[in-house]
């Protein structure tokens, strides 16, 4: 579905305002990557844009972002949502931002005013009837909420440090609980050394 530039600009402004990160950069900073991935996900899932249209939007804004990068960004959305507080906050804030349908309709009328009457009415009718995809989120466990509440007062660097420590602990437990043993067979004697 072709999305108009005015709507793209509104989405960009909202996401950049909420995240504090620029979308049209090639920065590899963690928050920039997640912000770009979220923008691509919103265009695909909420507005039905395909990877070619999203790539064109990036190209129009001076960033060469190919279709495979867009596909990768969108596919990592679930990983970012489950592992990064930044992404969960961005999604929550963006979804809770009030979308004023009247303003969107007025913008559409303004953009379509030059069309013949029948085309104009069809375009307005199509914009009103567009189905919105509802996203079901799984309930968050109590342990995740406890950890999230503990991280609330920390700086971003402190959050990363705590999460890294948790990942190390998880890997240590999985290593201790392995049900396999490796046996190394060697030849020769120790006297040779």
Q: What is the pLDDT of residues 167-180, one digit of tens each?
A: 787 777 766 666 66
The per-residue pLDDT for range 20-32, each reduced to its tens digit, is 899 998 888 999 9
The answer to the question of residue 63 being in a domain is yes
The answer to the question of residue 183 being in a domain is no
The answer to the question of residue 16 being in a domain is yes
The answer to the question of residue 133 being in a domain is yes
Q: What is the pLDDT of residue 131?
A: 52
The answer to the question of residue 84 being in a domain is yes
Domains in the chain, number:
3
Mean pLDDT, all residues of the chain: 78
20: left (phi over 0), alpha (psi -120 to 50) or beta: left
The stretches in the chain having pLDDT less than 70 are 1, 96-106, 128-141, 144-145, 174-193
CA distance 174 to 177: 5
94: its two tokens: 């963006």
Are 106 and 87 within one domain? no
CA distance 19 to 134: 23
pTM: 0.51
Domain that holds residue 124: 98-138
CA distance 157 to 151: 11
Are 81 and 15 within one domain? yes
User: How many separate helices (H) and strands (E) can be counted in the chain?
Assistant: 10, 0
Are 102 and 157 within one domain? no
């Amino acid at each position: 579905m072709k999305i108009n530039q005015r709507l793209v600009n509104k989405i960009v402004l909202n996401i950049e305002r909420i995240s504090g990160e620029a979308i049209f950069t090639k920065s590899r900073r963690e928050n920039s990557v997640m912000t770009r991935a979220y923008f691509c996900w919103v265009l695909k899932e909420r507005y039905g844009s395909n990877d070619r249209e999203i790539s064109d939007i990036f190209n129009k804004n001076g960033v060469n972002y190919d279709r495979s990068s867009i596909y990768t960004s969108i596919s990592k959305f679930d990983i970012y949502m489950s592992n990064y507080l930044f992404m969960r906050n961005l999604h929550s804030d963006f979804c809770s931002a009030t979308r004023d349908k009247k303003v969107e309709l007025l913008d559409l009328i303004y953009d379509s005013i030059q069309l013949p009457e029948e085309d104009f009415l069809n375009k307005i009718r199509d914009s009103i009837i567009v189905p919105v995809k509802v996203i079901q989120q799984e309930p968050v466990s109590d342990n995740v909420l406890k950890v999230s509440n503990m991280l609330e007062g920390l700086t971003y660097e402190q959050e990363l440090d705590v999460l890294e420590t948790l990942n190390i602990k998880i890997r240590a437990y999985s290593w201790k609980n392995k049900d396999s043993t490796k046996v190394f067979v060697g030849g020769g004697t120790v006297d040779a050394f």
